[in-house]
Structures are given as C-alpha cells and as structure tokens.
Amino acid sequence: MILYCDTSALVKCYCREEGSDAVLDLRRKAEATAVSVVGYSELHSAINRKRRDGDLSARDAERILREFDVDWEGCIRVEITPGLNMIVARLLKTHPLRAFDALHLASALLLRTRMPQTYVSFSGFDDRQRMAAKRERLTVMPG
C-alpha cells in the first residue's frame, strides 16, 4: 500500500496532534508515502506558524524541519502538471473543495492511475476532502 498524505496528515507525523498515532502507524505499514510537491512548502509553513504561535520552540521547529527534509527524499512526490490540473478542475466542479485540498486529492487519484497494481490510500483531515475522496473511490485513512 502507498499512503498519500496531504499536509494535515504530514504535520501529524512531526507534531503530536489528535490523529498522530494513527497516521504514524499507517506510514510504518505502508510501502511508501506519497505527497504533492506543494506539501514541502505547506509543511514548512505549518511548522513555522507553530513556532511563531509559541506551539513549538525554535529548536524543535528546526529539528522537525531537518527530519522532514530527510524523509522528503524517500517520499513519492507528485508533480503539478497540466494533467493534474485537469483533475483538479474536475474535482472543484464536482466537490465543494478548497483549491489545495483538490490538488492533494487529485495527486492521490493521479498516483492511483499511474500505479494501477498498487493500492493507494488517502490520508487527510478535512471533512469535505475526506468525503470527496470516498466519492472518488479512494480508501480514506485513518477510517
């Protein structure tokens, strides 16, 4: 199984939040973790926001970002292409999603198309995005 993580799921791998244990367990069980290339910037943004808000020390934020940079190299990264943008446009027309939620969902769908012999699961924590993923026949994790 390949676990596609949107940024809300990725953050849970590096910061203790509700759902962290479930996502970490899924990542351990998965053959690989997949992310959109925008996930890199989004995760850096989230960690730095937590630092600015006082939820993380500067030292912890730096440690997390170094750990993430190492992990990033082992992730399957989905690039933004014209084909991906067409899927995003269809998802936005069909489902009440924000643009980046649609982009992450489209990335998981594109990955499933490119790797038909591999089981792709989707992990995200936005309710509309999770519902759209289910309607697009993706397995949504954690359940």
100-107: average pLDDT: 98
With CA atoms as reference, report the closest residue to 69 among 40, 38, 28, 34: 40
Instruction: Please report, for the domain that includes residue 61, its CATH number.
Output: 3.40.50.1010
pLDDT, tens digit, 9 for 90 and up, residues 81-102:
999 999 999 999 999 999 999 9
One-letter identity of residue 16: R
Counted domains in the chain: 1
pLDDT band per the 50, 70, 90 thresholds, residue 52: very high
What does the alpha-carbon distance between residue 55 and residue 15 come to, in Å, rounded to a whole number? 10
- Asked whether the beta carbons of 84 and 78 are under 8 A apart, the reply is yes
Domain span holding position 46: 2-141
DSSP assignment letter at 56:
S
pTM metric for this prediction: 0.95
Q: Is the pLDDT of residue 142 over 90?
A: no
Spell out the residues 6+ positions from residue 41 whose beta carbon is closer than 8 angstroms to its own: none
- Encode pLDDT of 19-34 as tens digits: 999 999 999 999 999 9
